[in-house]
Structure 1
Amino acid sequence: MNPALREAAEQLCAAGRRAVGLGMSPGASGNVSARVDGLTLMSPTGVPLDGLEPGGLSVVDRDGGLVSGPPPSKELPLHRSMYERLPEAAAVVHLHSPHATAASCLPPWSAGSALPPITPYLVMRVGRAPLVPYSAPGSAGLADNLTALPGRFRAALLANHGSLMAAGSPAAALEGAVELEEASRIVVSLHGREYSVLAPEDVKELTERYGTTWDV
């Protein structure tokens, strides 16, 4: 494994351990990936995220073919779809954290975002997160549903399933997933009650300052 791949592998394993430590990846659920020099490192199928080892990751090529290591998670098509949407992304984290999963079972706040702009931190650290229509985990249909969504975004909730976050590094992707989980926790706790959200002009100011999007 060359130095760039080794560094990405170590970062990916560290993000997996932290996700489990934060209670965001129960059992063997969730999967993580990183992209380096045309190759994608991914958590193998059936391996808990706190059990990942740099030398035990799956390595796949641009076409999704296995280069080395064990078979990748069945969610490889979903990760590849996110990378196609965001060529600048270097990591994707998909988790079944409890509040994001709960929020994914609720009607979306709008056609463009499953969650409202409930806190400035969601807007400045994540941006909008649309709801991806349900299809079976690991299916081509789920990846196609993500591909079909319009507009710009780097995070999503998967209906009745969990969260998805892309960023420039595994650590940054996990931090986005943490913020998505916290915003989901707030929304779920307020469900059925009246609550306020950020005004459009405040959302615009934050997205322009921090480089996120809330454009649909």
Structure 2
Amino acid sequence: MSRESQLREEICRIGASLYQRGYTVGSAGNISARLDDGWLITPTDACLGYLDPAAISKVDAGGEWVSGDKPSKTLVLHRAVYDNNPDMHAVVHTHSTHLVSLSINGVWKDEDVLPPITPYYVMKVGHIPLIRYARPGAPEVAAQVAKIAGSVRGVLLERLGPVVWESSVSKAAFALEELEETAKLWHLAGGKVEPLEESALQDLRDTFKARW
């Protein structure tokens, strides 16, 4: 099986997993993966739970639609990540409930939507800034992401949900799940959890190379 075929299968597998466990609903959300000659991205208005590997959109290095169904309207946002972080090979975006709620009801800080309340959040996710609301696919959002794509693993789009990037589709999904779980914990605790102390954060940096 070619690398492209493997990526198509992985996108479908991860999409179905996220959908079945309620990380996204309906036709919300999108997933992309970097190829040597462009990108794969889920089609516009596709349901992540029922993706067809053959229908996944392929675009070339210039962003032109090559094959498959019409690409997601967020293609420009995904490209902003890839163009500004060569180590990242996948982007996952969902409308996860607790994170969308967090963006509506108030984040911890604009530069850190959630405090460092668990070690795995610190290690697997790190700093996640808030991007203020703009319509889905708005170019100004991509422009903002382009400026920070090399220094963080993701962003939270106000009223739209998280966008997370990593070295593979699976790793991006895992980081997104950790982000959503932390938002859930924050909600359950009424936003009253104390962050990990600086000494604990430094221990995670020293031991696991955590980026916090």
User: What TM-score do you get using the length of structure 1 for normalisation?
Assistant: 0.91
Matched, 1:203 2:193: no
Given the superposition, is the C-alpha separation of residues 133 and 204 from structure 1 closer, same or farther in structure 2, using an over 3 Å criterion?
farther
Contact 2:39 2:60 in 1 (8 A): yes
- What residue is the counterpart of 2:82 in the other structure? 83
- What residue is the counterpart of 1:56 in the other structure? 55
Matched, 1:70 2:64: no
Cα distance in 2, alignment partners of residues 150 and 44 from structure 1: 23
User: What TM-score do you get using the length of structure 2 for normalisation?
Assistant: 0.92
Deviations 1:89-118 (A, max 9, x none): 111100001011111224332342111101
**Shift >3 Å, 4+ stretches:** 148-151, 207-212
Q: How far is the alpha carbon of 1:151 from its aligned partner?
A: 7.1
Cα distance in 2, alignment partners of residues 23 and 171 from structure 1: 17
Given the superposition, is the C-alpha separation of residues 41 and 121 from structure 1 closer, same or farther in structure 2, using an over 3 Å criterion?
same
- What residue is the counterpart of 2:9 in the other structure? 10
Cα distance in 1, alignment partners of residues 205 and 37 from structure 2: 30
Tell me the SS of whatever aligns to 2:93: strand
Tell me the SS of whatever aligns to 1:109: coil
Match of 1:181, as an amino acid?
A: E
Which stretches in structure 1 are left out of the alignment for 5+ residues?
none
Contact 1:125 1:179 in 2 (8 A): yes
Aligned residues: 212
Q: How far is the alpha carbon of 1:53 from its aligned partner?
A: 1.5
Matched, 1:92 2:104: no
Match of 1:197, as an amino acid?
A: P
Cα distance in 1, alignment partners of residues 21 and 118 from structure 2: 21
Given the superposition, is the C-alpha separation of residues 111 and 204 from structure 1 closer, same or farther in structure 2, using an over 3 Å criterion?
farther
Contact 1:207 1:213 in 2 (8 A): yes
Identity in percent: 34
Which stretches in structure 2 are left out of the alignment for 5+ residues?
none
